[in-house]
Amino acid sequence: MNELRRYFTNFDQETAPPVVLLLLLAGSSLVPGLTVGLVQIFIDGYPGSLNLKQVGWIAAGIAALHMADSVLQLAASRKSTQLAERVSARVRSQLYQRYIALGDAPGSAGERLANLIQDVDDLRIGLDALVAAYRDTLIVAVLASMSYALAPQVAPLGVAVLPIAVIPTAWFGARVRKRGTEARAARSHFSRLAQDQLAGASTIRALQADSREHARFVVADRRDWAARSRLALEGALPAMLVRAIMTAGLGVLLWIGADDVAQGSLTSSRLLGFLVALTWTVRPLTGISVAWTQMQSGMAALERVHATLETLSPVQPPAEPVALPSGALSVEWRRVTVDFGAGVVLHRVTLDISAGSVVALVGLEGSGRSTLLRLVGRQLDPDVGEVLLGGVDVRLLSVADLRRAVVLVSGSEHVFARTLAENLRLSSEGATDAELLDVLHKVGARQWAEQLTGGIHTPLDELSLPVSAARCQQIALARALLSPARVLIFDCATCQLSAQEEHTLIEQLRLLAGERTVLIVPRDLDILPSVDRVVILQGGRVIETGRHENLLAGGTVYPRLWRERRGAAVE
C-alpha cells in the first residue's frame, strides 16, 4: 500500500486533470452495465412482449452506448496521456537537476541515463496501468451490482468468485517485481559490456581478442534474454490464472443456477442475463491483473527514482548564506585536515593565498594537492578546520555564489557534442565570436579553430578525427577564462599541453594579475619562475612556500626538486 500511496503522490500537482479523467473513466465504466441491462430487456421480452421496432430501439441504444463509450475512452486516453507526460516530464526534470547537483555521485553515467529514460518510462507505463486498473475496477463493480440485481439467489456465490480470482494477481506481484529487478540488472550489465567493447573495438582487434570478447558478449546477451523471458512468463501467468478461475467459476454458477431454474426460484432469462454480466467481468478482471503486473515494474522504478531524489548531497548549503566581497578573492586554509578513511590526506594545513596572485602547487602524487584545491569549491568539506574565500568560510556561501566565484578545471574535462562556440559559451552565454577567438588565442587554440570547416561554429562530433586530449584541455581552459569566476583553479589542467603552450597560458594568466586569483598544478616546472609563489606539498603537509628565487636560495626540498624534475611532468 505504501507503494500505491507514492504512486498517487505523483498526481499532487495535477489536481484538476485527474478529476476530469476519473469522471470520464467513471462514465465509460457504466457502459457494460447499461448494455447488460438492455440485453436483459431483450431476453425478457422477445419474442413475447417486444416487437421488432422495440428490438430495433434496443439495438440502437446498445450501439449508442458503445459509440459514447468510444468517445469517453478517447477523451480519457488523451487526458491520461497528457497527465502521464506531465508527471514523467516533471520526474525526469527533477532527476536531471538532482544528478547535476550531486555531481559525480551516485552511480555511473550509464545508470543515470537508465534512470532518466528507462525508469521514468517504466513509471509512466505504471501510471497508465493505474488508470486502466481504476476503470476496470469500476466496470467489475458495476457488473457485479447488475448480476446481483438479476439473480440475487446466485449472485453471492458469483461475487465470492471475484476475490478468489484476484489471488494470483496479488501473489505473483512480488515475484514479477523481483523478476523485473533481475531483468533490469541483466540489461544494465549487457549494455555496459556492449558499450565498453564498442568503445574499445580497435584495442580488441589489435590484441586479436575478437573471439574471447564475442563469447563474453554472447553470454551477457543470453543472460539478458533469459531474465526477460522469465519476466514475460511470470508476468503473463496471473492473467491466465484469473481467466481460468473465472471460467471454472462460471461453470459452477451455471450448474447451481440451472438447479434454481428447475426449482422455479429463478427464471432462465434472468440466469442467462446473470451469466452474461459475470462473463463480461472476465475481461476487466484480466485487465486488472495485467495492470498490476505492469505496475510492479513502475513501482520498482519509482523506488529507484525516489532513492535518487532523496539522496543528500555530500555538501549541504548554509541556512543563511553570507555574501562575498567584491574584487579579487584571497584563499585561505586554516588547520585543515582531511581523512578519507584509508589514511589522513591533509594534516592540519594552514596556507594563505593573496588575492590576485598566481600560485603553483608542486608535489609528488599523493601529496594532497588535488584534495587541497577541491576544498575551495566545496567538492568536499574538510573533516577539521576551515577554508576561507575572501575572508568568508566557504560553508557560509550559497552554492550559486560559490559556483560564480570559483572554477576548477581538471585534467579530464568533458567536451560536449556541440559546436566549438556552444562549448565555449557554456561559461559565458553572451560572448561574441570575437571574444571566443580571443580566448582561444590565449590558450593556443585559435589557429586550430580557424582551420575547422565551419570555424568556431563547427560541430565537434562531426569532425573526421576525434578532438584530441590537448584540444579538450584547451577548450576547458578557454571556458574557465571566459567565465566570471574570480578564482581559477587548474588541477593538472595543462598536462596534455606542450611546454610552450603552458608557458603561453601562464603569460596570459599573468596579465590577469590583481583581477583573478589563479591556483595551478603545472606539468612543467620551468614555469615556476613566472608565478608569484610556489607551494611545495609532501605527505599532506605544506613543507615550503615562497618565490622561486627565494626557495632556490634558502629552501631545502625545492632546490633538489628543481634540479631533479625540471622540465618533467609532475604526475
Residue range 135-185, pLDDT digits in tens: 888 998 888 888 888 888 877 877 777 777 677 777 777 788 788 888 878
- Please report the pLDDT score of residue 567 as a whole number: 47
- Please report the pLDDT score of residue 570 as a whole number: 40
- Please report the pLDDT score of residue 359 as a whole number: 92
- Please report the pLDDT score of residue 112 as a whole number: 65
Which residues pair with residue 360 across a beta bridge?
Answer: 520, 534
Which residues pair with residue 544 across a beta bridge?
Answer: 536
C-alpha neighbours within 13 Å on the C-beta side of residue 495 = 13
Residue 387 pLDDT greater than 90, yes or no: yes
Report the candidate in 427, 361, 349 with the shortest Cα–Cα distance to residue 388: 349
Mean pLDDT of 340-351: 87
Residue with cell 467489475: 140
Q: Residue 495 in contact with residue 468, Cβ under 8 Å?
A: no
Residue 568 pLDDT greater than 50, yes or no: no
Mean pLDDT of 400-425: 88
Q: Which of 7-21, 110-124, 265-279, 479-493 has the lowest mean pLDDT?
A: 7-21
Which residues pair with residue 333 across a beta bridge?
Answer: 351, 387
**Cα–Cα distance, 259 to 290 (Å, whole number):** 35
**Cα–Cα distance, 256 to 210 (Å, whole number):** 69
What's the pLDDT band for 565 if we cut at 50, 70, 90? low
Residue 110 pLDDT greater than 80, yes or no: no
Residue 407 pLDDT greater than 80, yes or no: yes
- What pTM does this model have? 0.69
Residue 496, φ and ψ in degrees, nearest 5: -95, -5
- Whether residue 163 is preceded by a cis peptide bond, meaning omega within 30 degrees of 0, is no
Task: Round to the nearest angstrom and report the end-to-end CA distance of the chain.
Answer: 55
- Please report the pLDDT score of residue 103 as a whole number: 67
Which residues lie below 8 Å from residue 126, measured CB to CB, with a gap of 6+? 7, 294, 295, 297, 298, 299, 301, 302
Report the candidate in 466, 494, 460 with the shortest Cα–Cα distance to residue 478: 494
The alpha carbon dihedral of 390, 395, 397, 401 has a sign of: positive
What's the pLDDT band for 434 if we cut at 50, 70, 90? very high
**Top-confidence residue, 333 or 301:** 333
Mean pLDDT of 430-450: 90
Take residue 248 and report the three cell numbers written for it: 471454472
Residue 452, φ and ψ in degrees, nearest 5: -65, 155
**Cα–Cα distance, 257 to 275 (Å, whole number):** 9
- Please report the pLDDT score of residue 16 as a whole number: 52
Which residues pair with residue 538 across a beta bridge?
Answer: 541
Q: Residue 278 in contact with residue 140, Cβ under 8 Å?
A: no
Residue range 518-560, pLDDT digits in tens: 999 988 788 888 889 999 998 889 999 999 889 888 878 888 8
- Please report the pLDDT score of residue 8 as a whole number: 52
Give the domains, in start order, of the chain with CATH numbers: 2-309 (1.20.1560.10), 331-565 (3.40.50.300)
Give the percent of the chain with pLDDT over 90. Answer: 19
Q: Which of 274-283, 423-432, 437-446 has the lowest mean pLDDT?
A: 274-283
Most confident of 104-113, 164-173, 211-220, 493-502: 211-220
Take residue 269 and report the three cell numbers written for it: 432469462
Give the percent of the chain with pLDDT over 70. Answer: 91
- Per-chain mean pLDDT for the chain: 82
Mean pLDDT of 383-396: 93
Q: How many residues does the chain have?
A: 571
Q: Given the DSSP bridges, would you call strands 344-353 and 331-339 parallel, antiparallel or unpaired?
A: antiparallel
Mean pLDDT of 359-382: 88
- Please report the pLDDT score of residue 488 as a whole number: 92
**Top-confidence residue, 489 or 299:** 489
Residue 571 pLDDT greater than 50, yes or no: no
Three-class secondary structure of residue 424 per DSSP? helix
Residue 202 pLDDT greater than 70, yes or no: yes
Mean pLDDT of 497-518: 79
Mean pLDDT of 221-225: 93
Residue range 3-52, pLDDT digits in tens: 555 555 555 555 455 788 888 888 888 888 888 888 888 777 766 666 67
